[in-house]
Homo-oligomer: A and B are copies of this chain.
Amino acid sequence: MKQSLGAKTLVYPTPVFVVGTYDQNGKPNVMTAAWGGICCSKPPCVAVSLRKATYTHGNIIARKAFTISIPSEDHVKQADYFGVVSGRDTDKFAATGLTPVKSDLVDAPYVKEFPLIVECRLAHVFELGLHTQFVGEVVDVKADESVMSGDKLVDIKKVRPFSFAPDTQGYYGIGNFLGQAFSIGKIR
């Protein structure tokens, strides 16, 4: 028997994207967002939704670029911190000791210590309500060599990303391998 929970934002899993931007003075900033995901294969695009009140919102509009740094479990505290304070009055890199690196492809910084980086050129801005959805065209993905396995493949078990559960607001790691897509479900 299913119980009605009302109109709310609840799906699993939601990602933990650390969105990197420069402000008008060139100060690097990061904020954490869970409303987003891949939205197109060709061109490769990723979406992230932000409230207009955030410092990052204005930065993306001005610079027309952002990065997404995917944190590992080792950085869950820093990733959470990035979503708690505002870059308007805080230097979040200085506060956490993490290192901003200027992307060589887009006008935005990423987090050096995080294992997977997606560099995006702003492609679309969609006003949806409280949130603005920014669609970025992926210009490059970069991964630490330590999380690679074989020929340009990334090993998720080495990245150790985590997800966010919207209603209980917990962070959860990635669990067991369950099967291979486009294969495990084939019925003879």
Query: Which positions in A face B, CB cutoff 8 Å?
Result: 1-15, 17, 34-47, 49, 51, 68, 70, 73, 76-84, 95-96, 116-118, 123-124, 126, 128-131, 133, 135, 137-145, 148, 152-156, 159, 161-187
Cross-chain pairs A/B with CB under 8 angstroms, 21 sampled: A2-B145, A3-B143, A3-B152, A4-B141, A5-B142, A9-B45, A9-B138, A14-B37, A36-B39, A40-B131, A42-B131, A76-B178, A76-B184, A80-B179, A83-B182, A96-B187, A123-B128, A124-B126, A156-B170, A169-B181, A172-B177
Contact B38 A14 (CB under 8 A): yes
Q: Which residue of B lies closest to A144 (CB)?
A: B2
Q: If the complex has contacts A175-B174, A178-B162, are A15 and B13 also in contact, measured as CB distance less than 8 A?
A: yes
The docked-state distance in angstroms from the alpha carbon of A135 to that of B135 is 13
A5 partner, pick from B15, B152, B161, beta carbons under 8 A: B152
A47 partner, pick from B133, B142, B166, beta carbons under 8 A: B133
Contact A1 B144 (CB under 8 A): yes
Contact A78 B12 (CB under 8 A): no
Chain B residues within 8 Å of A176, by CB: 172-173, 175
Contact B7 A43 (CB under 8 A): yes
The docked-state distance in angstroms from the alpha carbon of A99 to that of B149 is 40
Contact A141 B181 (CB under 8 A): no
The docked-state distance in angstroms from the alpha carbon of A31 to that of B129 is 28
